[in-house]
Chains A and B, each alone.
Chain A
Amino acid sequence: MSEKTRQAQDAPLVELAGVAKFYGNIRALEDISLTVRAGEITCVLGDNGAGKSTLIKIISGLHQHDGGTFRVQGEETRLASPREALERGIATVYQDLAVVPLMPVWRNFFLGSEPTVGRGPLRRMDVARMRRTTHSELLRMGIDLRDVDQPIGTLSGGERQSVAIARAVHFGAKALVLDEPTAALGVKQSGVVLKYVAAARDAGLGVVLITHNPHHAYLVGDRFVLLKRGAMAGAYERDELELEELVRQMAGGSELEELSHELER
């Protein structure tokens, strides 16, 4: 992104400063800071249990933070529900619960934001438009679905992710939170999803990409936040960081070096 755009959009889309979250006595997150700007991809990396899911839940409005500040477009906020997050332009695509498998593709695409026609008791979904839009929006991502009536559970994992991302983009999300979008996918499918993540960035969205795969993160990321046991283990701009360093950090960093000493023969 150019300097000009950055100045024009002074306030980041989403900004967390010193955010903490407790579940009872258990500290799930502490002192987390991260910035998401329009047209940029912020990658959050961390091992299992590092607090990635908790962080997503706070940004997407499922949970509320217990400390620190959470700003949406410069305005300090505390999101009460996913619906409020959506209204503020933050859309979240979850790894496993992005769609309702038994429902047709077109019903899934518009779920929660169905376009309607008519008034009063005759108010109904604009089914023709919903089918047409679903088909054309998916086609833009390279998924040529002949039958938008098929249950979305019959699509492949990558396609389902892409449908969920296309849905968020279509509904005018400003910030897109992606929870491990490539975790369950093969190499080719991951490529498809990452291409669409990049397309969303080029369309001017700010993206939070949660992953434990440093290779995928480095392919598209502009800034990187590393989580470790609920705390920040590092924050880097892209030009401050080599892929090797990111991989090393993710693989366990100094712990890995110790381990390699122990395992040395």
Chain B
Amino acid sequence: MTAATDPGRPDSDEPGDRRQPQDAPGAGDRLVHRPLPVRLLRRPELGAVVGALALFVFFAFVADSFLRASSLSTVLYFSSTIGIMAVPVALLMIGGEFDLSTGVMVTSSALISSMFSYQMTANTWVGVGVSLLVTLGIGFFNGFMLTRTGLPSFIITLATFLMLTGLNLGLTKVISGTVTTKTISDMEGFETARAVFASTLTLGSVHIQITVVWWLLLVAVATWILLRTSAGNWIFAVGGGVDAARAVGVPVARTKIGLYLGVAFAAWVSGQHLLFNYDTVQSGEGVGNELIYIAAAVIGGCLLTGGYGSAIGAAVGAFIFGMANKGIIYAQWNPDWFKFFLGAMLLLATLLNAWIRKRAEATR
């Protein structure tokens, strides 16, 4: 962390007549940092990290093939497909809002890209660009409606979710004649787009899907925004106390719309991956994923009421999903139990988070 205080340094940002009173000399060196364990206990993602470690050790014991490099890269890949969405969803939740339209928005983004390129016989990159604009437009619609109407985001995005679900199926049938888009793998620009959105990087004997790179990059950027920029300060504030934030001049509407645009951007990345990984897109896909993203964010320490959470936590939450999903297969259990397992994980993680937070408050 920063702010190692230097008592010798003059406070250049203080006007001369605002010196500290005589009875409290050298205030700077009394500004202490709490010991490391206490600081760790305060991190929102602690519960998720403990849970992820426990799960990792567990599967390492019960599933022989779990620790193989190929298995781990599969786990990472699956985690990344959830994590790319879970991270901006976590930011949105810290900002005090929900988005139920994320799952189908990913599908919409893929469909737009694919169908635009195919119907216009354009370079696939044109479709990719159009898809970015339209997806950001959907995100803007969510944010704009929310800030304009003052309705709960649950209702607004539920409406968007239903409309997009219908549009995905309806428009795809009208345009393509079936519920699946035509393959675009023989079109111009497909190979380069695939390299960006759906390629595999080989490091020695380890194969890493490029989505893992996008995921980690997104976590880094989101963490930077949240912890080190003014926008991050505003995100915490609009989620933790919107009236107080507005009163000190935080642009509340702009912050919330920005968060929805962030979610839309991630949906675009996910959608393009979906498209260039499989060539074709099933128009009915994505329903239900929105809850997985929210669950990952909550496991990662986000409060449902807003104002608290972390991007790293959401990434760890996604990793827990990845481990559970693939670990069950490596342990050769019946995958039917996956959802039950996830539900139990969610409950446990949330209880653990609540307990840790209470302990952390008590140490003050």
A residues whose Cβ falls under 8 Å from a Cβ of B: 60, 62, 81-83, 86, 92, 94, 97-103, 107, 110-116, 123-125, 127-129, 131-133, 135-136, 139-140, 144, 146-150, 154, 167
Contact = CB atoms under 8 A, between A and B. Distances in A.
A111 B249 CA distance: 8
A94 B243 CA distance: 10
Could you say which of A102, A113, A147, A150 has the most chain B C-beta atoms within 10 Å of its C-beta? A102
**7 nearest A-B residue pairs (beta carbon):** A100-B241, A112-B248, A83-B249, A114-B230, A112-B249, A97-B243, A100-B240
B233 A136 contact: no
B262 to A, nearest CB: 15
Contact of B228 (A86, A100, A113, A125): A125
B83 interface: no
A100 B248 CA distance: 11
**Residue picked from A112, A129, A150, most chain B C-beta under 10 Å:** A112
B27 A101 contact: no
5 contacts: A94-B244, A99-B241, A100-B237, A114-B230, A131-B31
Contacts of B287: none
Contact of A154 (B24, B30, B251, B364): B364
B364 A135 contact: no
Given A136-B11, A147-B34, A125 B229 contact: yes
A147 B363 CA distance: 13
A150 B249 contact: no
Q: Report the interface size class on chain B.
A: 35 or more
A68 to B, nearest CB: 24
B202 interface: no
B357 to A, nearest CB: 10
A150 to B, nearest CB: 6
Given A125-B228, A127-B3, A136-B14, A103 B247 contact: no
Given A131-B3, A132-B28, A146-B30, 10 more contacts: A97-B244, A97-B247, A98-B247, A111-B233, A127-B3, A132-B3, A132-B5, A146-B32, A149-B34, A154-B364
A123 B28 CA distance: 25
Interface of B: 2-5, 11, 13-14, 18, 20-21, 24, 27-28, 30-34, 42, 224, 228-230, 232-234, 236-237, 240-241, 243-251, 307-308, 361, 364
B3 A140 contact: no
Contacts of A113: 248-249
Nearest to B34: A147
Given A60-B247, A111-B248, A114-B233, A140 B13 contact: no
Nearest to B361: A154
A120 to B, nearest CB: 12
A139 B24 contact: yes
A133 B27 CA distance: 11
B245 A112 contact: yes
Nearest to A168: B248
A107 to B, nearest CB: 5
A124 B308 CA distance: 20
A103 B4 CA distance: 20
B245 A124 contact: no
Given A83-B249, A125-B233, A98 B307 contact: no
A188 B346 CA distance: 46
A187 B248 CA distance: 28
Contacts of A135: 27-28, 31
B237 A111 contact: yes
Contacts of A146: 30-32
Contacts of A82: 246-249
B245 to A, nearest CB: 6
A48 B150 CA distance: 28
Most buried by B among A86, A110, A111, A128: A111
Contacts of A60: 247
B344 to A, nearest CB: 28
Contacts of A167: 248
A221 B251 CA distance: 34
A124 B236 contact: no
Given A82-B249, A101-B240, A102-B308, A124 B31 contact: no
Contacts of A140: 18, 20-21
Contacts of B28: 132, 135-136
B264 to A, nearest CB: 20
Contacts of A147: 31-34
Nearest to B30: A146
A213 to B, nearest CB: 23
Contacts of B34: 147, 149
Contacts of B230: 114, 116, 125
Nearest to B12: A129
Contacts of A110: 233
A139 B3 CA distance: 18
A102 B240 contact: yes
A240 to B, nearest CB: 34
B94 to A, nearest CB: 10
Contacts of B234: 111-112
A124 B14 contact: no
Nearest to A94: B247
B307 A103 contact: yes
B237 A127 contact: no
